Structure 1
Amino acid sequence: MLKVALPMTFAAAAGVSLVVQQALNANLRTALNSAVWSGFTSYAVGVLCMLLLALALREPVPSLSVVSRVPLWAWSGGIFGAIFIGLGIMLIPQIGTATFFVLLVAGQMLGALVFDHFGLLGVPVHPISFVRLVGAALLVCGVVLIRW
């Protein structure tokens, strides 16, 4: 039970951390009067934290031969993180945190179903089933209820 409960607790905590991050970024945007500098600051602090974690864990820097073998598209994850942060900074003051995140989760769920079904970007294939579609539909219903 603990083998599953602990990772699920950490995943839920990661979700809460996203809410905190976006609320802080939206507040920083207001204080700086700049969405761009708010997003930049978020990434700069994040890079510093990852550097400190790498040093604390004594992670070796990947060799040039390893880096050169990584496909170009694999380096693009930060682009999507920047889209997430930028949209959160812009939209949370307009639509609210709950609406932003419920729509975010709905989009993640629908995207995850498509990625799983087709095995996009190398994820294991998990075909769409009736139960999974009902779960996604219930999530969309939750979106409507939260926004109501």
Structure 2
Amino acid sequence: MSIHLIGLALLMGAIISIYLPMITQTARILGSGPMANVPFFAIALASSIAIAVATGSRAEQFQKIGTLPLWLLTAGVMSAGMIIGSSYLIPKIGIGAFFVLLVSGQVLAGMVFGYFGMFGVPASALTWGKVLGALLVITGVYLVTFR
């Protein structure tokens, strides 16, 4: 894995740690987690369309949107749930505990999805190193969340 890919993934993690609290602030100002999603998704949609158009001719890809299986579109529902959930949880459990739990859920689910080859990811064996890593993640959750 190249260093620039690792750097990009770290940057994306840092961006998540910025934008979720921003959505939480939006929910606080508007008085509603679901309403905080409205401007967020409107700007995300406009930005996505602008980036897609700016990076090349996309008429064929835009036409294919209607052919997507409905189950793939549930990712939008999951995204809305993530935003609403973060605007509810961050003020209640704190940002540190929230992110430790969030990343831990990703690591553990990623191990399961990888092992079974779910959602189009290549199957990968469960190794003692991965199990030890998962146990360390769970230990970290305990230390950060319950002190």
**TM-score, normalising length: structure 2:** 0.91
Question: CA deviation digits over 1:111-139, x for unaligned, max 9?
Answer: 00110011112210002111101001111
Q: How does 1:15-94 map to 2 (within 5 A)?
A: 15-61=13-59, 62=61, 64=63, 66-67=64-65, 69-94=67-92
2:66, 2:88 → 1: CA distance?
Answer: 36
Structure 1, 40-49 or 68-77: larger mean CA deviation: 68-77
Partners of 2:130 and 2:99 in 1: how far apart?
A: 20
The residue aligned with 1:122 is 120
Identity among equivalent pairs (%)? 28
1:4-39 Cα shifts (integer Å, max 9, x gaps): 111111101101111111110111111111111112
RMSD across aligned positions (CA): 1.6
Compute the displacement of 1:101 (Å): 0.8
Query: How many residue pairs are counted as aligned between the two chains?
Result: 145
**Which 5+ residue runs of structure 2 have no aligned equivalent?**
none
Q: Which runs of 4+ in 1 moved over 6 A?
A: none
CA contact (8 A) 1:39 1:89 kept: no
Q: Which TM-score applies when normalising by structure 1? A: 0.90
5+ long unaligned stretches in structure 1: none
After superposition, what is the alpha-carbon deviation per residue over 1:80-125, rounded to whole angstroms, capped at 9, x for unaligned? 1111111101100100111111001111111001100111122100
| In structure 2, distance between residues paired with 1:68 and 1:31 | 36
Return closer, same or farther for 1:63/1:50 CA change in 2, 3 Å cut-off.
Answer: closer
Farther-moved stretch of structure 1 (124-133 vs 48-57): 48-57
For 1:72, the aligned partner's letter is L
Alpha-carbon shift at residue 75 of structure 1 (Å): 2.1
**Contact conserved, 1:26 with 1:89, CA < 8 A, in 2?**
yes
* 1:145–1:63 distance in 2 versus 1, CA, 3 Å: closer
Residue 35 of structure 1 contacts residue 90 of structure 1 at CA under 8 Å; is this kept in 2? Answer: yes
